[in-house]
Structure 1
Amino acid sequence: MSDKEEMALDGSLNVTLTLRLLMHGKEVGSIIGKKGETVKKMREESGARINISEGSSPERIVTITGPTESIFRAFSMIADKFEEDIAAAMTNSNVTSKPPVTLRLVFPGSQCGSLIGKGGSKIKEIRETTGAQVQVAGDMLPDSTERAVTISGTPQAITQCVRHICSVMLESPPKGATIPYRPKAIPAGAHAVLAPQHSAQAFAFPGQYAFAHQDLTKLHQLAMQHIPLPSLGQSNPTFPGLEASAPTSSQELAIPNDLIGCIIGRQGSKINEIRQVSGAHIKIASATDGSSMRQVTITGSPASISVAQYLISARLSSVQTSLGVL
């Protein structure tokens, strides 16, 4: 790194950078606060410009622009706010292990090689020096040249991680034009896509059904953080639409043999969890000679099938995340 860049990261030079975050609606609401008071305070105290994309998409882009030190302060405040949210959520649950704060950056694909480093050396150095978990998605986000970079850890570890990321951005500017990722709104009356962006590419489900987004976010966070899913039962009011009286249909998925174990879990614990939460009947076919895939049949109401599909997808995603192969 040059002396100029070193000085920039120390805050001695007024070098302006822009970082983009991908957030779910609930996370955005937490950042905005009542009548916009939280984001206003963050802007004033950090000195960074914090803009939140408009639209009806379940995902929003939060853009943070300013001198490097302002960016670090803004990230520190956002991470602290999410830490508070996690602590508040834990007071109303029986979960004993505290999940980490997780932020998703949207990063130009042309800079991801520099972030990963030769043979993964740079990303390993960042993980070891900050204590944060850093994962770079293998695929570009839809209709863009950007990738998701997921950071998990304590607020302090996340802020240190952002310092390293800013260093990479200064050292290795993007090559060519960057096509930014723009989350798509769900048209009125259309079916919602339930799988997370970085879910396993080996399967797809054509017939998605709309389901309350805040509920899906909650389920996805539980699955990604390896927290046991709640016992919900068919009539639980938190997850409407799982009534046993709804018309029954079935859906088939093909899942790679080497990932089927993470869906079943030890002595069937995971598949039973998914059955209990979704209310769907799930049957996993025996392995077929010469086939690398296993057939999974989900039967139940449309909403039950959607929840089961979503939980299977999130479970696969969490396993891939832990392996570093999003």
Structure 2
Amino acid sequence: MEASFLSPPAKRSIYTATGMPDPSPMAYAPNGFSKRSKPPPTPIPVPAGHVAFRLLCHASRIGGVIGKSGVIVKQLQSDTGARIRVEDSPSTSDHRVILVIAPASVNRRIALQGSAEEVEASAAQEAVLRVFERILKVAAEVDGVPPGGVVSCRLLAETSQVGSVIGKGGKVVEKIRRESGSKIKVLTAEKLPTCAASTDEMVEIEGDVLAVKKALVAVSRRLQDCPNVDKTKLIGGRTLEVVPQQSLPDPRVDLFQQRGSVLPPIPSNTISYASGSRPLSINTERISTLDPKTSQQEVIFKILCSNDRVGGVIGKGGTIVKALQNETGASISVGAPVAECDERLITITASENPESRYSPAQNAVILVFNRSIEAGIEKGLDSGLKGSPVSARLVVPSNQVGCLMGKGGTIISEMRKASGAGIRIIGSDQVPKCASENDQVVQWKQICYYYQYNSGDCNS
């Protein structure tokens, strides 16, 4: 039964893939697709540690998912930290593909609407679940689908990935069916909608609402644990690009260039955080060849932020710090104010594979530092002009300072030479009260030779 996908197209406003209404309704065919030729959309990079899901939605419901001027999809992005885009489809297709890109790290527990049950999930899984819940809500509003009825959910995936959902002898998919109470089918090319790529297969989940949600979490977990080895093909011959492996950035290039490409739009005055458009240059390949059995290690960084900037790092209602956590997969905790201390201690924690060149914690500390500088410029504390200095203060345990110094100061001298920054260890008598008595502060200063605030570039 396909009750949630077989309704006739509704008479409603037509929205483009960006959610904006087209000024000329006559430019669209009756099924809601543009008759005008359009330039192909820009390929979307998938940063390291992220995953892309593709959810099918009937064309008659897509307007309700996007919302007027994109308001609903923007809210979904803000709530989940994901990047969500509605793809264009051929005029012969009754369905649209909703692309969801977000971190794949399983680091949260989410509630299934309509149930007190919580499940462990990644930001990407939460986002695809919330999009599906929105589709169900639109279906109920538009088609009058009664609560408690049979619904279905359809995911597109590469043929190379679908095997992870089925499992040897069908054991994996059978377990998901049994534990969720849903029906799951895998449909091959001849049964797919025309919006699918030739290399796609479709996973169809059917059952009551709660059963389908449980199965969606389980299926998406299998897909994200088995990412596609090649670039993922999308509709229209467009590719979803995986950010390639790169070496660590030139230390003389300022850290403002390490902005993530999928940091979601958030309700703040920060222009660059609402429209970041460059991939993380410190990311390595999303497809890891590391042994998954290698033990994880907890990595902790602590960075100081002045009281007059910390609000700009946190954001209204925690929106900015939540977006940073979703972007990096690291936990970011801002310490409480301490009497007679004009700084706050920000602790960044992540569980990492010691063999991996990509560090969520390192990525997070860079983005937190970037944001603190931007907050200072917004408040007029920093000019952001050519020749203006920038500085950062990291808190490290006293017993680790020797590792930074090296024998005879060789290591710290090399870091100064390589980065062009002034680096020094602050004496214990100058350590702020928000830090432990067993900590010391490593401070570096560097001249910002050029800064363009709107694009977030600072070159030195």
Q: Is the pair's TM-score, using the shorter chain for normalization, greater than 0.5? A: no
TM-score, normalised on structure 2? 0.33
Higher strand share: 2
Rg larger in 1 or in 2? Answer: 2
Higher helix share: 1
